[in-house]
Every structure is written in C-alpha cells, then in structure tokens.
Amino acid sequence: MADAGVAQSGVVGWRCAVCAATVDIAEPLVFRCPNWTTEDPHHALRIVQHDEPVRIVADDPNPFIAYRPHFAWDSFASAHGLSEADRDALVRSVDADVARVAGTGFVVTPFERAGALSTALGFTVDGGIWIKDETHQVAGSHKARHLMSSLLHLLVAERIGVTPWSTSTRPNLAIASCGNAALAAATLAAAARWPLEVFVPPSASASVVARLAALGAQITTCPRLESDPPGDPCVHRYREAVAGGAIPFSVQGPENAWCLDGGRTLGWELSAQRPDHLFVQVGGGALARCTVGALAQIGPLPKVHAVQTEACAPLARAWKRAIQGEGGIATAPARWSECMTPWEHVGYSAADGILDDETYDWIGVINGIHSSHGAPVIAKEVEILRANELAREHTDIDVSHTGSAGLAGLLAIRDVISNHERVGLIFSGIQR
C-alpha cells in the first residue's frame, strides 16, 4: 500500500471498516471512504498505524508536539517532504494563533484521582475514580483535539500545493453542531482565518450562537423540512454544503476521517494511568471511538462502558442488534443499516451534547466494548442530574451535564463495580 518514503512514517494509510478499501496516507483531502456514495453512505475509514505502541516522543505540554510522529497528518506531511522541523514549526505557529483566539493553546490535560468523589462513592484507597479534565482544553472541551488534526492536514495540503484552492480562494469549512464541536470549529477557523459555515438546530442556545458569530462563523439554522429523510436536519444541510464544495470540518469519523487523528490524543494521555473501567459518554461516538482505539494502541483495554441517556440510546440498540444478528459483531459493519438506525423520538436530557440520533462512529465503539468485555449503559435522567451534582460537590471542575455523563453511567451500575477497582472518566466539557 505505502511506498518506501511513507513506510518510515507512523501512519501508513486508511482502511474502511465496512468495505476494506485502503487509501495511502500520501493521498490528500481523503475525508471519506473512496466507495462512499450518497446511495451507499455507510463506510468508515480507520487509521492504519505501523509504529505501535504509541509513546511520548517529546517532553512538551502540547500533545500535538509530544506525540507528533504518530499522527496521520504528520505522516501525510512527511510523505510530501516536509521536514521534522517544518512539522514542529507548523504546530507551534497554529497553536500560537489558537492561543490568541482561545486564550489557551493545546495542552495535555490532567488525569488524576478524585479523592473526595471516590470516597463519596464508597471506593477504597486502592480503587477509585480518575478524571480526565478537558474543561480547560482549547474552547472548553475535547472537541478541538479532533479538529486540530483536520486543520493541520488542510494547512499541509495547502502548503504543498495539492489543493484545488489557494489561501485566498479557500472554500468554507462546514460543520453541523450547536455545541462544543461548533465552538471548537469556530475557534480553530478563526485562528486559521478560514471561513466556516455552522449548521445549527432551531433549538441552539442563543449564547452559543452569539459566540459563534463573534468568532466569525456563518450560521445556518436548520428546521426539519417536509422532504427530509430520517436523521438530523443539520447533518442533511451540512452534507448538501459539502456536496457543493465546502470542506468537511465535522467531528464524525465517517464524514471527516481526519478528525479521528487528533481525537486519539485523549486515549494516549489516559494510558499513563490505566484504569480497570472506562465510562465514556457517547453522542456521535467519535470521542469513545478515538479514546478506545488509542488506548488499544498502547496496551490491554479497560472495560469500556459506553454511556447514553434514556432520551436517546441508538448505540445500545445497535449493540444488541449487532450481537444478536447472524455472524454477531464480526458481520455488524456489513449490517450497518440493520444495526444503526436513527433514534426515532429523541427526548429531553440535561446532557444535551449526547443526544445525537445516530452514533455515527458506532463500529469503533462496539468493537471496543466487545474486545474489552464491556457493555453499553443507559443512564436515567436522575443519574445524569445526580452525577453533575456529585461532580460539583466533590471536585472543583466546572463540568457540564454532558461532560459528567460518564459518571452517570457509573452510578447506573455502581453495584457491579468493586470498591477496589479503578474507574476512568472524561469530564469532557465545561458548563456554559
């Protein structure tokens, strides 16, 4: 698949989990599987890495420097002749622009035992709860990690002259989101001075929309149209924009494979304190998929518990269909339209960032659950609320209900976790 030059790099290319198509890492602007069509959209590229186990290669607070040779964007740049010094300099210069817009550049975030919370939940001193605190990451959540790798790939492609546009004729970046992903996208787009179109639902929070506008994003409100098929109308409008030439700047792997690259930093960082269990909240699924995939690049997986709410649990349903169908997990990707269907009536939850009606990155998540002997968890709304109260009472992290939803999953099955076990959580976003 890769030529001699590429073989020295960490990532050799992409492979589709559904149709097994492969793409060399040197190929620019590969966002989706080459066999993707509007009639056959169920494809999902994954990164093919040859330099595992992944490890820190530079003692630096910025994960995009600390792990640089392991990234797909870095292998892409290397394959096109950019030197290591050029690649480091690019990260540093984008990070400085991000810091000017966001007030902070990218950071390896803390992953520490939460003593008071562990005691409150009855854990002994050898067990307990370890929290990865993403509330101080760029734009207040983990989402910017996914988009930084997307941006770096685009900037490299532009620099080496393989884009059909130039810096002065850039097409819009596009994303469908009304929350943290949109804010991360708008922050990075402003840093790169790249135009961005954001597709938001009519229910989007006025303060988030105002912040997006202040960052210079173009905002399109997307009510459901009579003619819309099932699924999120914002995603439909986003796909139309991409079909019209906009660049996918999405945090959904099947739409924008480059977002998977930077998302892995979470798992790489978590691996320093390998817990017995990982409870991870699931919306579109990129967070769980990247974290679990990256942990698996370093050692045995903790038991993965993918947490959704009663209001919207398409992953738990897909999991059941995947294991019960003919051939089980192994054949699930090929049975995509049977397993993963949009949740028909999305209800209310305070954890509104995980109400995606489809878990777009479901294949990576169910594979992680399966290989770790974990399970999906459906948290009740009282558990979502209680988890956030507990987080506020027993930690000093200003976490949102979406951000603390993993803790709600732990509350839901606390009785089957031993007091001596170590539980990992990701407090993924700040309260707005």
Task: Enumerate binding residues for ligand PLP (CB under 6 A).
Answer: 141, 179-181, 251, 281-288, 353-354, 356, 400, 402-403, 428-429
At its nearest, how many Å lie between Zn ion and the CB of residue 17? 8
At its nearest, how many Å lie between ligand PLP and the CB of residue 177? 7
Q: Which among ligand PLP, Zn ion, none contacts residue 19 (Cβ within 5 to 8 A by kind)?
A: Zn ion
Residue 233 or 254 with smaller CB distance to Zn ion: 254
CB 195 within 8 A of CB 189: yes
CB 40 within 8 A of CB 254: no
At its nearest, how many Å lie between ligand PLP and the CB of residue 366? 13
- E strands within 88-185? 111-113, 128-133, 173-176
At its nearest, how many Å lie between ligand PLP and the CB of residue 59? 28
- E strands within 183-334? 196-200, 218-221, 247-248, 277-281, 303-309
CB 280 within 8 A of CB 402: no
Q: Which among ligand PLP, Zn ion, none contacts residue 402 (Cβ within 5 to 8 A by kind)?
A: ligand PLP
H or E stretch covering 426: strand 422-427
Which residues of this chain interact with Zn ion, rule CB under 5 A? 16, 18-19, 21, 33, 35, 43
Residue 90 or 405 with smaller CB distance to ligand PLP: 405
The CA-atom distances, in angstroms, between 9 and each of 70, 80, 263, 320 are: 8, 11, 19, 38
Distance separating alpha carbons of residues 375 and 363, to the nearest angstrom: 14
Residue 36 or 71 with smaller CB distance to Zn ion: 36
Q: Which among Zn ion, ligand PLP, none contacts residue 2 (Cβ within 5 to 8 A by kind)?
A: none
At its nearest, how many Å lie between Zn ion and the CB of residue 19? 3
Distance separating alpha carbons of residues 157 and 163, to the nearest angstrom: 6
At its nearest, how many Å lie between ligand PLP and the CB of residue 2? 29
Q: Which among Zn ion, ligand PLP, none contacts residue 267 (Cβ within 5 to 8 A by kind)?
A: none
Residue 72 or 139 with smaller CB distance to ligand PLP: 139
Q: Which residue has the tokens 């054949």?
A: 331
Residue 50 or 317 with smaller CB distance to ligand PLP: 317
Residue 253 or 275 with smaller CB distance to ligand PLP: 253
At its nearest, how many Å lie between ligand PLP and the CB of residue 143? 6
Residue 22 or 371 with smaller CB distance to Zn ion: 22
Please give the residue whose beta carbon sits closest to ligand PLP in the complex.
Answer: 429
Residue 248 or 424 with smaller CB distance to Zn ion: 248
Q: Which among ligand PLP, Zn ion, none contacts residue 282 (Cβ within 5 to 8 A by kind)?
A: ligand PLP
The tokens of 121 are what? Answer: 């939940």
Q: Which among ligand PLP, Zn ion, none contacts residue 18 (Cβ within 5 to 8 A by kind)?
A: Zn ion
At its nearest, how many Å lie between Zn ion and the CB of residue 136? 37
H or E stretch covering 395: none
Residue 69 or 302 with smaller CB distance to ligand PLP: 302
At its nearest, how many Å lie between Zn ion and the CB of residue 300? 29
| 101 backbone dihedrals φ, ψ, rounded to 5° | -80, -45
The CA-atom distances, in angstroms, between 97 and each of 103, 138, 227 are: 10, 12, 42
Q: Who contacts 172 (Cβ-Cβ below 8 Å, separation ≥6)?
A: 195, 196, 197, 218, 241, 246, 247
Query: In 10 A of CB 159, how many CB atoms?
Result: 15
Q: Which among ligand PLP, Zn ion, none contacts residue 62 (Cβ within 5 to 8 A by kind)?
A: none
Q: Which among Zn ion, ligand PLP, none contacts residue 66 (Cβ within 5 to 8 A by kind)?
A: none
At its nearest, how many Å lie between ligand PLP and the CB of residue 278? 14
The tokens of 260 are what? Answer: 């998977």
Distance separating alpha carbons of residues 78 and 67, to the nearest angstrom: 15
Say whether 183 sits in a helix, a strand or coil: helix
Q: Which among Zn ion, ligand PLP, none contacts residue 333 (Cβ within 5 to 8 A by kind)?
A: none
Residue 87 or 264 with smaller CB distance to ligand PLP: 264
Query: In 10 A of CB 347, how many CB atoms?
Result: 11
